[in-house]
Amino acid sequence: MDEVIHAVGHEHVTAAHESTLELTSDDYLTPAGDCIVGIEADRVPAEFDSAFVSACQDRDAEITATLSTADHEVEITGRGHPDLTFENDRSLVVRTSEYVDDRTVMVDADAAATDLYRDLVDALASGVDVTMRLTVE
């Protein structure tokens, strides 16, 4: 089961955060947003299909976030959690920790923003289109 989010990079993408990675529907990014890798996301957690949400609320669910541009692709794997609500109407966050709030779409991820390949980060900072495909099994 998949959810697909389209966004764009921004000149302030640094991907320096060590425990999170985020997409936001906001149309701006300040230099402080060091976990944000895409803005103007066309979907937010509150819009995800209820069956997808239910599947992610299983602690044993494996969730994969595939982040791709025209020239780059990376997979981040984590898991679900019973407390995931998918209620946020502005942004989604992949977390390496077990912290859960209404923006969290996976916990125990094997990578965060700082772990992205620097050529991918450079592409995002140049404003390329980016897609995140979330898959739950």
pLDDT tens sequence across 49-72:
999 999 999 999 999 999 999 999
| CATH code for the domain of 82 | 2.60.120.630
CA atoms within 13 Å, Cβ hemisphere of 44? 13
Task: Say what the pTM is.
Answer: 0.96
Q: At residue 80, what is the residue type? A: G
What is the dihedral angle through the alpha carbons of 87, 90, 91, 92, rounded to the nearest 10 degrees? 20
pLDDT tens sequence across 41-51:
999 999 999 99
The rounded distance, in Å, linking the Cα atoms of 39 and 14 is 13
Which residue segment(s) compose the domain that 76 sits in? 2-136
Give every CB contact of residue 46 below 8 A, 6+ residues apart in sequence.
86, 87, 88, 89
Total count of domains within the chain: 1
